[in-house]
Amino acid sequence: MNLQITCIPGDGIGPEIVAEAKKVLVKAGEKFDFTPVFTDILMGGASIDVHGVPLTEEAVAAAKAAEAVLMGSIGGNTTTSPWYKLPPEKRPEAGLLKIRKELNLFANLRPAFLYKELAGACPLKEEISRAGFDIMIMRELTGGLYFGERRTVEENGIRKAIDTLTYDEKEIRRIAIKGFDIAMKRKKKVTSVDKANVLDSSRLWRAVVEEVAKDYPEVELEHMLVDNCAMQLVKNPAQFDVILTENMFGDILSDEASMVTGSIGMLASASLNDTKFGLYEPSHGSAPDIAGQNIANPIATILSAAMMLRFSFDLDKAADEIEAAVQQVLKEGYRTVDIMAEGCKQVSCSEMGSLITERL
Ligand code: NAD
């Protein structure tokens, strides 16, 4: 079976970490009887340098023709790179916004998993970090406050800014279905987060989530107010499985959840549309400060590739084994510089990729 995968190596450490994820996918394919077929496209700064724009129509077409997209990350040093002297719509990040829109990626998934071996990096109290946690934050990505009508006006000499938060039931239903589908592949619990004590949009959110829940009798549903969720994430993160929430709440909570893991180089992410298609990328940026040195941590990208196998190709077993190989390498004490700890063995980006490939 061929898997058609478009790759966006991108900028900074992007090409280094994507190369390692490709290595792991090829090996997983040998073991689980699939062949990844990679087509590389340019995006971000790399595309600006060649084509003058951060994403060409040809690149969009290549992404659409694939079954999934695997991305490194894009962008450069925002103070010194000439890319940031360009108007906003020509800068690297405009490519990312465009591809998300073109591919209709409305569901953003960010796992926050605390590896036992990296518990020392968790900023929470030891009794909390010892219990570990494995959370999937599911954030609506194309609606809500960030996409509502906005304007700034002046009334009687006083400036006033207005942003609007709108959701219709279709937008809520499609993300809720994704959330429950993903919970079915995990511990079968959904915590739907809203502010239903204040906002109409949250009351509709809650009602539609409850309607969708009826189709998933095996999944336990609970509702939680966003302010309480922010507290619970640092007090008792082990209580969560899937956190399902709207755009702005998800933006804030997913960053909070990733920070409690303490390791930016370990965090994967996925953005999905209503088919099996998805764009998979690490949560971190292009780390221009360490680019080209072969020291970046490729694990977030490798785990993003595992998510791709799970969610776009239903190759759950292969995904499980990649995750287990990552854990095994950590258990053996291998670390890249960002997660280095006393008594461990420091390895380069490519060595980490090879170690994970060998353990598969
Ligand atoms: P960053 O995530 O790139 O880096 C923050 C810090 O973490 C740096 O010190 C970096 O060296 C380190 N780091 C990040 N990933 C690492 C890894 N895999 N291994 C080891 N160390 C790692 O954030 P930033 O410096 O704020 O942003 C740099 C560029 O990345 C900017 O242009 C920004 O716009 C862009 N960015 C892109 C994306 C994306 O492509 N989706 C996301 C975030 C930021």
Q: If pLDDT is split at 50, 70 and 90, which confidence band does 192 have? A: very high
Question: For 339-354, what is each residue's pLDDT tens digit?
Answer: 998 999 999 999 999 9
Residue 236 has pLDDT above 90, yes or no: yes
Question: For 90-142, what is each residue's pLDDT tens digit?
Answer: 999 999 989 988 999 999 999 999 988 898 889 999 999 888 899 999 999 99
Cite the DSSP H helix spans in 66-167.
92-102, 126-131
Residue 258 has pLDDT above 90, yes or no: no
5-36: buried (b, 16+ CB within 10 Å) or exposed (e) per residue? bbbbbbbbbbbbbbbbbbbbbebbbeebebeb
Amino acid 131: pLDDT: 86
Asked whether 78 lines ligand 1 (CB < 6 A), one says yes
State the Cα–Cα distance between residues 31 and 232, nearest whole angstrom. Answer: 40
Question: For 265-300, what is each residue's pLDDT tens digit?
Answer: 999 999 999 899 999 999 999 999 999 999 999 999
Amino acid 195: pLDDT: 98
Quote the tokens at residue 20. 């390692």
Helix (H) or strand (E) holding 272: strand 268-272
- Cβ–Cβ < 8 Å for 18, 9: yes
Residue 222 has pLDDT above 90, yes or no: yes
Amino acid 158: pLDDT: 97
Residues 6+ apart with CB under 8 A from 49: none
Residue with tokens 């939680």: 224
Strand 35-40 relative to strand 2-10, pairing: parallel
Q: Is 274 tagged catalytic?
A: no
Q: If pLDDT is split at 50, 70 and 90, which confidence band does 88 have? A: confident
SS3 of 193-223 = EECCCCCHHHHHHHHHHHHHHCCCCCCEEEE
Taken in order 72, 279, 108, 92, the sign of the CA dihedral is positive
Asked whether 46 lines ligand 1 (CB < 6 A), one says no
Q: If pLDDT is split at 50, 70 and 90, which confidence band does 23 have? A: very high
Amino acid 130: pLDDT: 87
Q: Is 316 tagged catalytic?
A: no
Amino acid 119: pLDDT: 87
Residue 151 has pLDDT above 90, yes or no: yes
State the Cα–Cα distance between residues 190 and 138, nearest whole angstrom. Answer: 10
State the Cα–Cα distance between residues 266 and 338, nearest whole angstrom. Answer: 10
Residue 208 has pLDDT above 90, yes or no: yes
Whole-number mean pLDDT of the chain?
96
Q: How much distance in Å is there from the Cα of 271 to the middle of ligand 1? A: 18
Strand 278-282 relative to strand 268-272, pairing: antiparallel
Question: For 238-257, what is each residue's pLDDT tens digit?
Answer: 999 999 999 999 999 999 99
Query: For the residues of 278-318, what is the DSSP string, one character each?
Result: EEEEESS---GGGTTSS-S--HHHHHHHHHHHHHTT--HHH
Provide the greatest CA pair distance for the chain. 70
Q: How much distance in Å is there from the Cα of 337 to the middle of ligand 1? A: 15
- 72 residue type, one letter: G
By most ligand atoms within 8 Å of CB, the mutation choice from 264, 283, 294 for ligand 1 is 264
How much is the average pLDDT of 149-175?
96
Amino acid 121: pLDDT: 85
Q: Is 163 tagged catalytic?
A: no
Amino acid 294: pLDDT: 98
Amino acid 116: pLDDT: 86
Q: Which of 35-39, 140-144, 263-267 has the highest mean pLDDT?
A: 35-39
Quote the tokens at residue 322. 């990649």
Hey, which bits of 30-127 come out as E strands? 35-40, 68-73, 107-113
Residues 6+ apart with CB under 8 A from 120: 341
Q: Is 167 tagged catalytic?
A: no
How much is the average pLDDT of 328-333?
96
Q: Which of 185, 202, 184 is nearest to 193 (CA)?
A: 202
Amino acid 215: pLDDT: 98
